[in-house]
Structure 1
Amino acid sequence: MLIVLLPEELQEDDQEALLVNWWHLERESGVREHGLDSLQTLKSRFAGQRLRALAPATSVSLYRLDMPVKRAASVRAALPFALEDQVSQDLELLHCVPGPRRSDGRLAAAVVETDRMDHWQALFESRQWRLEALVPLPVLHGGDTPEQGLLVRPSPWPSAAPQALITSRFEEPVLIEVGLLGLWLARRLSSLPEDERVVQASGFSKVDLGLEQNQDVIFTEVPAQVTVDKALEYCLQPNPPLNLLTGPYATTMAAPPWRKMRPVMVAAGVLLAVLLAQFSLEWLTLSRERDRLVAGIEAVFESSLPNSRMVQPVTQFRQVLEGNAPGSSANSSGELLHDALAVLAQTDSASIIQFRATPGELEIELQLASFAELEALRAGLASQPELQETLQGADSGSEGVTARLKVSRRKS
């Protein structure tokens, strides 16, 4: 799993200039490696890793609220009204997230500006990178609280200015800039009961915390240290509490469906490729066989009917065979051809280019010297009582006139 810490300030989405701190976690061995890189570099390097993000403490406010309602739907509906007196901004500009109930019975809640949520989500959507969870950074230390008072330690997290981590059993963890720590502690301690005005510090002296003049506060130094590795274990939970990706920003924590189906999809892709290759080979084989058969039919037609134009070879062969069959001499194409050629022979310049004969009609394509000869030929055919001619078309060219005539038996 990859964990990234979002920048404290909203920045322009520059593919390379926007740098984030990151940690690569393994469930058994903790942090394997960490560094500072751009999101684009991380996307290229850890594209297959699950991704979760940490919202900086300066961008998210954490609260504990008295919420008598128990049902989750009722808590979500009542949360904005419970926060109304504690936030200074318009609630419509805030994204409010309910969390778990703490040991004191109060409800933890997180509040963040909707503009920041939109900006953070846009960072990952522009890179087509799926973000599983977005957790406020201080929440990672929610389980490390003292039994009494406040526990103050240096923050282990990278930030623009040094920060201190303050935890207690009455409030949510807080990260405060060291320069503001004395003022914050004075205000916080004044709101605690006298028996809770205890400060345990690690890495800070009483002078550092501004408590040297405060006799009402019990100050003790403790060797407790906080580490990033231990805090990041919080992110390994299947559904980390106070995940900001709820409501309009919700995203499922489960792996995307296509990831589970990836082996099946790969197998289907291989099978489809094999079928396409087989289909292509069969199509190529059949195409070659078709071309071979067409060439064979043309060769047979040219040798059998050299002076005919091939239109429908099977029909033409059948018509020729039927016309030459015994008992059909009266209606054979031979007689029709004989009668037509007898008239054609009277025109000296007429030459036959090609013809198609059937028992009932004859189509002839002729080459003549002029339209006058064409009209004389038509007149000769029309003069035969048993013949009927029709001009199919005529074109003139440099070599004379090309005409197409259809000659048939005149119906009695």
Structure 2
Amino acid sequence: MAGWITREEALHRLKVRPQTLYAYVSRGRVGTRPDEADPRRSQYSADDIAGLVGRRARGKRPQAIAASAIAWGEPIIETGISTVAHGRLFYRGRDAVTLAASASLEEVAALLWEAPGPVVFLADAGLAAADSRSVQVRAFSTLALAAAEAPPSLGRRPEVLRAEGAALVARLAAAYQVPSTSGVALHQRVAEAWSLSGDAADFVRWALVLQAEHELNASAFATRVAASTGAPLAACVLAGFSTLQGPLHGYATANVEALAEDARRLSVARVIEPYLTTGRRVPGFGHPLYPDGDPRAAALIERFGLPDIHRDLMAAVVAATGIAPNVDFALVALAERFGLPGGTAFQLFSMGRVVGWLAHAMEQGAQGSLIRPRGHYVGPPVEA
């Protein structure tokens, strides 16, 4: 139900008085924008209205509320780290796209981790040495070894956890053959390690910052579950990294890479036709939290020239569906733009996102509560 509706339609769907609608808007529960046809009037988010109607229909039954919370539903964990509101992503109240215009990942980490001073991503020397194992094996091995060696996260001071977290970011980067170099920002080290020149380092910075955090997604939730047990920070990151491997999350970039390769080999029309005729979502397009388009993707795409195949794919899918590309598409196109190999988009995704996982692990540890939901049993009757 993505889109925008008039005030009259919003009141009709909600069955409330204008004052109630305005109260929803003031509390951030319903997004608004000026009506393009008449800027003196406002339009209201159809998705936000539908969410309010759905919550009212479910009522206050605990079981219904709990079930709805699992899939894009009711908020279930209090967090001060990030949120998506009115089609924009915010890091501790600051627009992520605005931050990406100038901030480094180190500066964003300081913001998300509430560090009093600069954050520096440095790890043990030699971690980025040549290694014949696959990138994924190196990454898993690095995080697993760190998890096995580290103490529990509970009962440790925030500054100690922040220092450990900064080293973990550097260790994951080292698994991607990005060395720890004192005094050099991570995006610059990535550009040098991957033999990128010109303005490529700045595009890498944009990508890392825009991927640093994205509210309570699957990997962040897995990270928080691990942190709620008091697990070491590295174990919490490993939980998030494991979740990121799924094709419905971080490895969605692999589906976009395959789509682009098939389009190059066959044709754009032939490749997207099966999706259009069956109503399936085209990989790399659309996001439930951004009915009007992913602002992270838009910010990246407008700053570098799309490769021909990605430009043609975007034009064809948008023309056929009206659905804009998401950040997975943008990361894959960015990697193609600079001639980087397959899998690079995933590496950029995870190098940025580890900062957010660490923020969630630290916040959850500070809250000191175990995440332990109950299952709604639907199996055979229990014995008396």
Q: TM-score, normalised on structure 2? A: 0.23
Give the number of the structure with larger relative contact order, counting CA–CA contacts within 8 Å between residues 6 or more apart.
2
Of structures 1 and 2, the larger Rg is shown by 1
The structure with the largest strand share of the pair is 1
